[in-house]
Amino acid sequence: MSSFWVIGVDYGTDSVRAIIVDVHNGNEIASAVFYYPRWKDGLYCNAAESRFRQHPLDYIEGLEATIRQCLQQAGPGAAANIKAISVDTTGSTPVAVDETGTPLALTPAFQDNPNAMFVLWKDHTALKEAAAINATAATFQQNYLRYVGGIYSSEWFWAKLLHILRADEAVRQATYSWVEHCDWIPFLLSGGKHIRQMKRGICSAGHKALFATEFCGLPPDAFFTAIDPLLSGFTKKLFTRTYTAGEAAGHLCPEWAERLGLSTDVVIGIGAFDAHMGAVGGQIEPYHLSKVMGTSTCDMLVAPMEEMEHKLVKGICGQVPGSVIPGMMGMEAGQSAFGDAYAWFSNVLAWPLQHLLPSSSLITPEIAAKLAQEASGRMIAELAKQAALIPPQEHDELGIDWLNGRRTPDADQSLKGTLTGLNLASDTPRIFRAVAESTCFGAKAIVERFEREGVPVKGLIGIGGVAKKSPFIMQMMADIMNMPIRIHRSEQTCALGAAMFAATAAGIFPKVEDAMEAMGQGFEVTYQPNARYAGIYENRYRKYKSLGAFTATVNTD
């Protein structure tokens, strides 16, 4: 049997990773990771202002480096086996482009301007703009937000566009269109020369840009003009058609074929968000919530189209036909902080290591730096080990997980986290346990919303870094949800999902479900809930909801 290989490229928050996969069995032939150098140095970001921007050069350099490294690992002749490339990215992570589809930060005039760079998913500088969109939508008879849960988020396409247009006149004047990261990379690889050639994916268009067949595409210009005259006429610069991730964006252009050492026969698939392709890589099933757990979570659920007729789930991140699996209804929810919540607590604890050890008179600065790095690296794992020894009690410390706002249910990025019930016996493992428990309660609130809106959740699938690395949190998740959670075997479910879509776009499989069956890696462990904790966690969950309601009131006063 001849070798058919595909490449899946996964753009994460801190790095991009690529894998070469054999389409016959899903075996990983090679893999490579590239950490964004400008992002690593903290350039163009200001956490105090919730501003997180990424330079397109980080993406371009990472794309070339990882694919070339994969081909080198795969050995001589590997390039001849490559049939297709598909990518996933974080989202909504859009950028201002000129008429050629070039991000403005790649032009000399804007090369160091953060407003001309990709606005990362967790950038919350557009709070006022999201509020304006929601206020305006309430005045229209047609509900243009009904397919994104009824509330528009500052993390999404239109809010970020309006913020950039308001904040920077020079960028506003130079902006021809506004493009998601997952749509730009396939355009780049296929050699697009004008923005009209760009094929936009239904994933980003439906979940973040309000595209829906019921609106005949995007909402009318009158809606956006009512939000702010700066948006007048902007829909004409965008798109009227979308594509599923199982379709092709084109073929590898001569320039990138030469840069990568590949053939121009290589098919380039339509891009999508990481969680959507990750759900496919993690072998999502109807009515099983696929939880991509990393710095944040994205929770994906698919259902047959005919069973979702007349059902609208309020407060989630959208329900879009074909966004996860073509032909099925794709629904997205998630939490703005998950792994980030644990990292925050770890960073708080690491402050003395980082600021006191370097000035110690007992050790050299070099040893101090190594000690701080070693301790910080072990912090979360050791905290989890100790927290796992503490059984849940009715009146333990309690937290709210909105450290980076609330994504779902009912998006509100202005909300803040909470810790309560502290006393003089509240040691570090107990506080960490409360933080971890709050993230699991936040996950339960999402399941509760789906079920309340008539969409059953029949099981949980865990994928991503936290799912693979933290048995403590996964067991707590199963206990709090009171249902089993299966952990997918693959270390790279997002990249694997991209590879599955690449194989589908190349015509190797007629539909992505066939690619999932042939290339899926299966599950490595299932966490079963502890029945003895069900009552305690149910009572604590009620307290979590009460504390959350109080926290929301305090945040908005």
Are residues 514 and 436 part of one domain? no
Are residues 163 and 14 part of one domain? yes
Are residues 391 and 508 part of one domain? no
Mean pLDDT on 33-39: 98
pLDDT tens figures, 281-330: 999 999 999 999 988 899 999 999 999 988 999 999 899 999 999 999 99
pLDDT tens figures, 127-166: 999 999 999 999 999 999 999 999 999 999 999 999 999 9
Are residues 219 and 122 part of one domain? yes
pLDDT tens figures, 414-468: 899 999 999 999 999 999 999 999 999 999 999 999 999 999 999 999 998 899 9
Are residues 166 and 106 part of one domain? yes
Query: What is the per-residue pLDDT for 3?
Result: 82
Percent residues over pLDDT 90 in the chain: 92
Domain with 257 in it: 5-282+490-521
Determine, yes or no, domain membership for 309. no
Determine, yes or no, domain membership for 313. no
Mean pLDDT on 76-90: 97
Q: Which of 401, 462, 402 is nearest to 437 (CA)?
A: 401
Which amino acid is located at 45 in the chain?
C
Confidence class of residue 358 from pLDDT cuts 50, 70 and 90? confident
Determine, yes or no, domain membership for 298. no
Instruction: Evaluate the omega torsion of the peptide bond into residue 92 and state whether it is cis, within 30 degrees of 0.
Output: yes
Query: What is the per-residue pLDDT for 1?
Result: 44
How many residues in total does the chain contain? 557
Mean pLDDT on 79-97: 97
Are residues 221 and 195 part of one domain? yes
Determine, yes or no, domain membership for 160. yes
Torsion angles phi and psi, residue 129, rounded to 5 = -70, -40
Query: What is the per-residue pLDDT for 295?
Result: 86
Which amino acid is located at 448 in the chain?
E
Confidence class of residue 556 from pLDDT cuts 50, 70 and 90? low
Q: Above 90 in pLDDT, residue 354?
A: no
CATH of the domain at 356: 3.30.420.40
Determine, yes or no, domain membership for 353. yes
pTM for the complete prediction?
Answer: 0.91
At a CB cut-off of 8 Å and minimum separation 6, what does 296 contact?
A: 121, 122, 334, 335, 336, 337, 338, 339, 340, 404, 407
Percent residues over pLDDT 70 in the chain: 99
Are residues 529 and 512 part of one domain? no
Query: What is the per-residue pLDDT for 2?
Result: 63
pLDDT tens figures, 185-203: 999 999 999 999 999 999 9
Distance of alpha carbon 539 from alpha carbon 96, whole angstroms: 48
Mean pLDDT for all residues in the chain: 95
